[in-house]
Chains A and B, each alone.
Chain A
Amino acid sequence: NAGVTQTPKFQVLKTGQSMTLQCAQDMNHEYMSWYRQDPGMGLRLIHYSVGAGITDQGEVPNGYNVSRSTTEDFPLRLLSAAPSQTSVYFCASSYSGLSSYNEQFFGPGTRLTVL
């Protein structure tokens, strides 16, 4: 298993440009999520999905869109990048259970700089 993969690893954008951060997992996990990591602020949840066709907002969703057309993929879209979106982005996935916690597996991250 490749686990959780993210592309690209690094990206530099200009203000106003759009792009999509890719996330894929090969573990047949129902739950997938996106976090951003900023110095002194830890990781904050952007969006999450409990299965194909189902997405919801996390703590900091503004400026980001997601969709979940397949179990494997959960792309994160920046429609008009802003310098405040400069961050390291992590994708995570896990099984989904109603009565127990399921370990989340994190991807290696995408380091995004918006000029």
Chain B
Amino acid sequence: AQSVTQLDSQVPVFEEAPVELRCNYSSSVSVYLFWYVQYPNQGLQLLLKYLSGSTLVESINGFEAEFNKSQTSFHLRKPSVHISDTAEYFCAVSDQVSGATNKLIFGTGTLLAVQP
């Protein structure tokens, strides 16, 4: 079985500062990794994903995450945040064996609060 740990429930940061949201996972099989974003009062949107290949993946709005197999981590980073990045961010894992079912295991979420 897989599990996902997001140690930081809330991360306050000033606008234009860098940020890192931490995600660690555990699994006995190979996994796919994801970051989802949830803006206030909305559903979840896929931000970026790691399926295979390059361990560094990027989103269209400046976020990036790096898959580190030895540390079982998939931390999310952005070099300069904006007020509009304020949202809750969820890390999720899906094992490659159950690809047909697409079952996702989510972390508990990290609220990114960007202050002016």
Contacts and interface: CB of A to CB of B under 8 A. Distances in A.
A99 B96 CA distance: 8
A31 B42 contact: no
Contacts of A48: 101, 103
Contact of A106 (B6, B45, B94, B109): B45
B43 A43 contact: no
A44 B108 contact: no
A99 B104 contact: no
A58 B103 contact: yes
A104 B104 contact: yes
A100 B32 CA distance: 9
Given A40-B108, A42-B109, A100 B102 contact: no
B9 interface: yes
Nearest to A98: B100
B111 to A, nearest CB: 10
Contacts of B35: none
Interface residues of A, number: 30
B102 A31 contact: yes
Interface stretch (A64-72, A77-85, A89-97): A89-97
Contact of B90 (A33, A42, A96): A42
B106 A44 contact: yes
Nearest to A109: B43
Nearest to B94: A101
B101 A50 contact: yes
Contacts of B51: 100-101
B44 A99 contact: no
Contacts of B6: 42
A92 to B, nearest CB: 8
19 contacts: A4-B43, A33-B103, A41-B108, A42-B4, A42-B107, A42-B109, A43-B106, A44-B106, A45-B103, A48-B103, A56-B101, A94-B102, A101-B51, A101-B94, A101-B96, A103-B46, A104-B46, A104-B102, A108-B42
